[in-house]
Amino acid sequence: MTKLAFVFPGQGSQTIGMEADLVETSLGKEKFEKAEEILGWSVLETCRQDEANLSRTLYTQPCLYVVESILIDLLLDKAGYLPQYVAGHSLGEYSALYAARVFSFEAGLRLVQQRAKLMDTAAGGKMVALMKIDRAQLDSALDKNNDVVLANDNSPQQVVISGTPEAVDSILSEVKAKRAVPLNVSGAFHSPLMASVAQDYKQLLDEVSFGEAIVPVLSNVNPTPTIDATELKTRLMEQMTGTVRWRETLLKLAEEDVSQLIEVGPGNVLTGLCKRTCPEMELQNISRAAECQL
């Protein structure tokens, strides 16, 4: 039996026009209207306007969640089934939890809205993506510096570090990398510097009821598949300050005999990472309503 996993991209995958043909479907129209009621602004208009505004955390995160949620519902409607596993990269974990029916679309969007507001106000940190690095050298440098951490472990040769600007710059001066790309974010996401933001978020998260997942979810901070509601909520809370262990997530899916991986959402970042980590997997991207016929 072929095992299938759906994975959902996070911040950085957004693009103008990503709403595309989704609004032409009844499911999409309904979700866009519901989202506007909750958010107080239009996801459709935001996805059609300037890229700078869409790329602001405050708007990026709700827009991605809404677009990915619509694709999930279209896949369920047209294909009639979910995969054996789901996982999402950073913000994408919310889409994965919605796909697994851990919470409703509305509950998930409210969480994402508050997460985006809190993260948009974060300040005083820096994040840099490093490509083609000496991993042993990086790990050694990080071990010696308490003010910078591995925020995203994306693949053996692609990571993101996060911390105070001084500490991040210190690592950059010590570690060889083919490319070092500063990320356009307001704070040091997925690091201990987000602890105060995480505490504010916890109060909101505690108010939301989580149900048992209908398919196992692999979380960013712990890629062990689980359907347990309490565990999934705990992991989501830890994600605010913890490392996105995406490389391990892909390796775990391979260990679970997943042979087909579908990236649901805009772009192809996650399938690109999978090519380098699990090249034997069959890969597919779904970002349009027309592509939801499996």
User: What's the CATH code of the domain at 58?
Assistant: 3.40.366.10
286 in the same domain as 203:
yes
Residue 40 burial (C-beta neighbours within 10 Å; 0-12, 13-18, 19+): exposed
95 in the same domain as 226:
yes
216 in the same domain as 70:
yes
Distances (CA, A) of 173 to 24, 162, 167: 50, 15, 10
175 in the same domain as 49:
no
Residue 143 burial (C-beta neighbours within 10 Å; 0-12, 13-18, 19+): exposed
Q: Residue 165: give its domain's CATH number.
A: 3.30.70.250
Helix (H) or strand (E) segment spanning residue 8:
strand 3-8
Tens digit of pLDDT for each residue in 97-110?
Answer: 999 999 999 999 99
160 in the same domain as 76:
no
Residues 264, 270: Cα–Cα separation, whole Å:
10
282 in the same domain as 231:
yes
33 in the same domain as 140:
no
* Active-site option among 13, 89, 162, 190: 190
213 in the same domain as 76:
yes
223 in the same domain as 103:
yes
Residues 50, 63: Cα–Cα separation, whole Å:
14
76 in the same domain as 97:
yes
CB environment 148-172: b (16+ within 10 A), e (fewer): bbbbbbbbebbbbbbbbeebbebbb
130 in the same domain as 117:
no
* Active-site option among 13, 69, 90, 155: 90
How many domains does the chain contain in total? 2
89: annotated active-site residue: no
> Which residue range(s) make up the domain with 133?
126-182
Per-residue pLDDT 10s for the chain (294 aa) are 689 999 999 998 999 999 889 999 999 999 999 999 999 999 999 999 889 899 999 999 999 999 999 999 999 988 787 899 999 999 999 999 999 999 999 999 999 999 999 998 887 899 999 999 999 999 999 999 999 999 999 998 899 999 999 999 999 999 989 999 998 887 899 999 999 999 999 999 999 999 999 999 999 999 999 999 999 999 999 999 999 999 999 999 999 999 999 999 999 999 999 999 999 999 999 999 999 876
